[in-house]
Chains A and B, each alone.
Chain A
Amino acid sequence: MVFVESFDAWYLREHDRMIATLVLTTGELDLAVEGVDEACSRALERWNRVGVMDSPSGWVYRVAINHARRVARRRTMEQSVFRREVSTPDLPAPASELWELVAALSERQRQVVMLRHVAELKQSEIGTVLGISRGTVSSTLHDAHQRLGRLLNDDHEF
């Protein structure tokens, strides 16, 4: 017998974690909210299929990251076409402090680190979400840890 968690229960448990992950991945609250809301509404639309996956959260993270990336790309294009500067509001504390810490990482390193330590996904799940191999996840994570360790002066924490 397969136990399928209800969408509401999953949503209640995972939403805030997903927002935190996306905020620290993108550095923008609006982008994170947009990505998570879109991904969750799509998951709700097809929960019969998503709910029985090995990692429903992995699927939703993948959709959320892709959507946030699309929105960011569209916004950049609009800014260049209409020559309009859109100011991005600063993140509220304590998210802003954390962002200052991880902003120095590359985008890929940031995604891997956040999916591992905030979303608490396994390395294999991270590979599926980002469309990369587990080995790449591992090495990327290793590099990111070293860099963050230097920044925090606490290598062993990671």
Chain B
Amino acid sequence: MSELTRRSQALIDEPLVPRPLPESLRLRSRRRQLRRRSIAVGLLALVVITAFSIVKIGDPAPPRSVTSKGDNSNVQLLSYFQAAVNVPNSTLAAVGLPATVAIPTEITPSLSTVGTNGVVSYVGAEYCSYCAIQRWALLVALSKFGTFTHLDRQVLSSSSDVYSHLASWSFVGTKYKSSYFTFEPTETSSSTPNGRGGFAPLEKLSSSQRIAFNKYDPQGALPFVDVGNHYIALGASASPAVLEGLSLGTIGSELNDPTSPVAKAIDGTANYLIAAMCTMEPKATPPVCATFTSRAAAKALGSGVSPTSQISSATTYPTQPPTNAPKSVWKKWSAKEHAFWLATAGSYRSPNPACTVIKISITGRKLTKPLFGIPAGVTIWGMSLLGKCDH
């Protein structure tokens, strides 16, 4: 035995530390296993959290759902959206069928336009102030037949239009689900100027939409609403003047006040649109189609004449401002002229009982050069009638 072995034997014979019991080794073993499991669970949690974070970071798209709680714009959107989709039938009944609202025109479907059968089609543009009010009416009406989601693209109409900076939203990216029909909205242009006097293009019309648009709206007036290839509405059905200076929230709340001009214009338009939509699936319709208002609107759709005897405040043609008046005064006059023609169309009755009106259209033309003292850039309005007489 070496010297080292001999000397170290003393350490073995008289141990430096007491020998732990095997039980304490088992305990140590269990603690180690527990520690390993904790580390494994921790690492797994870390991997999951990291993966989740990567997925969230890699998806920078803003929250689009109407139920999402995000920035202030979403909160505001949520409130007005809820107000518009929840206008009760009693409010719609109280608003009734104001004479200031243009009645959608019944059309005779042709073979070329059968592509829009069973489809509610809308063609508009984000810059268009007339589209702003028509969107509201479509939202109220369509919500009676289905559910909207992804309505979160707020827009303001163009500042150079007759009614400037009207608060609305765009149908771009909107989803609509209904068991009765499909909704096909197209916003052709944005509200962003393209630097050449126009606006940046946005969406293209579908082929069937384009056929119907070209056939029923050859002048290309916006907005264009085609209800199942049976009824069309060219231009705004009510004057957008009621929206001037109002925020989205105010418009939303006024939709539920039947005495407000906003409700009369939008809910009144919605009543006609609802009646038109009810004709698309006559065998299976929602309860709103059975209301008195809807039935009255359906009757008006057939005759093209509003059943109301209300006398519009805009029954007299607005006096033209002086030739040298500023353009802002002329634009206000243009708005009054539009309201006058809408009121006239809404309350128009054929003087000959043997004649019935088939179609009334209000069309506008923006002057590119002065005409009869009216400066360029002002929109002038006119009404055209189509009827038939029994002899």
User: Which A residues contact B (CB, under 8 angstroms)?
Assistant: 7-8, 11-12, 15-17, 19-20, 23-24, 29, 33, 37-38, 40-42, 44-45, 92, 94-95, 97-98, 101-102, 113-114, 117-118, 120, 148, 152, 154, 157-158
* From A20, A37, A38, A102, contact of B12 by CB (8 A): A20
Residues from chain A with Cβ under 8 Å of B26 in the complex: 41, 44
Residues from chain B with Cβ under 8 Å of A40 in the complex: 25
Known: A16-B15, A19-B15, A23-B16. A44 touches B25 (CB 8 A): yes
Q: Which of B2, B8, B29 has the most CB of A within 10 A?
A: B8
Interchain nearest-CB distance for A98 vs B (Å): 6
Contact at B2–A19, with CB atoms within 8 Å? Answer: no
* From B2, B3, B8, B29, contact of A24 by CB (8 A): B8
A71 to B26, CA, bound (A): 20
Q: Name B's interface SS.
A: helix
A152 to B11, CA, bound (A): 19
Contact at B11–A117, with CB atoms within 8 Å? Answer: no
Interchain nearest-CB distance for A136 vs B (Å): 20
Residues from chain B with Cβ under 8 Å of A42 in the complex: 29
Besides A20-B8, A23-B16, A148-B4, 10 new A-B residue pairs in contact (Cβ under 8 A), listed by A number: A11-B25, A15-B15, A16-B19, A23-B11, A37-B25, A37-B28, A38-B28, A40-B25, A44-B25, A113-B4
**Interface residue? B22 (CB, 8 A):** yes
Residues from chain A with Cβ under 8 Å of B10 in the complex: 94
**Interface residue? B37 (CB, 8 A):** no
Question: Nearest B residue to A148 by beta-carbon distance?
Answer: B4
* From B3, B5, B8, B28, contact of A152 by CB (8 A): B3
User: Which B residues contact A (CB, under 8 angstroms)?
Assistant: 2-5, 7-8, 10-12, 15-17, 19-20, 22, 25-26, 28-29, 32
A94 to B15, CA, bound (A): 11
Residues from chain B with Cβ under 8 Å of A33 in the complex: 17
Contact at B29–A44, with CB atoms within 8 Å? Answer: yes
25 sample A-B contacts, Cβ–Cβ < 8 Å, listed by A number: A11-B19, A11-B22, A12-B19, A15-B15, A15-B19, A16-B12, A17-B12, A20-B8, A23-B11, A29-B16, A37-B28, A41-B29, A41-B32, A92-B16, A94-B10, A95-B11, A102-B4, A113-B4, A117-B2, A118-B4, A118-B11, A120-B5, A148-B4, A154-B3, A157-B4
A118 to B2, CA, bound (A): 10
Contact at A19–B8, with CB atoms within 8 Å? Answer: no
Residues from chain A with Cβ under 8 Å of B3 in the complex: 152, 154, 157-158
Contact at B17–A29, with CB atoms within 8 Å? Answer: yes
Question: Nearest B residue to A152 by beta-carbon distance?
Answer: B3
A152 to B17, CA, bound (A): 28
Contact at A20–B16, with CB atoms within 8 Å? Answer: yes
Q: Which of B4, B12, B28 has the most CB of A within 10 A?
A: B4
A117 to B19, CA, bound (A): 21
* From B5, B7, B20, contact of A94 by CB (8 A): B7
A11 to B21, CA, bound (A): 10
Q: Which of A7, A15, A41 has the most CB of B within 10 A?
A: A41
Contact at A19–B16, with CB atoms within 8 Å? Answer: yes
A129 to B32, CA, bound (A): 23
A95 to B17, CA, bound (A): 12
A154 to B29, CA, bound (A): 45
* From B2, B4, B15, B25, contact of A41 by CB (8 A): B25
Top 6 A-B pairs, shortest CB-CB distance: A20-B11, A41-B25, A41-B28, A16-B15, A157-B3, A118-B8
Interchain nearest-CB distance for B285 vs A (Å): 75
A154 to B3, CA, bound (A): 9
A92 to B11, CA, bound (A): 10
Q: Which of A7, A37, A102 has the most CB of B within 10 A?
A: A37
Residues from chain A with Cβ under 8 Å of B22 in the complex: 7-8, 11, 44
Residues from chain A with Cβ under 8 Å of B11 in the complex: 16, 19-20, 23-24, 94-95, 98, 118
Interchain nearest-CB distance for B53 vs A (Å): 28
Question: Nearest A residue to B3 by beta-carbon distance?
Answer: A157
A24 to B5, CA, bound (A): 12
Residues from chain A with Cβ under 8 Å of B5 in the complex: 117-118, 120
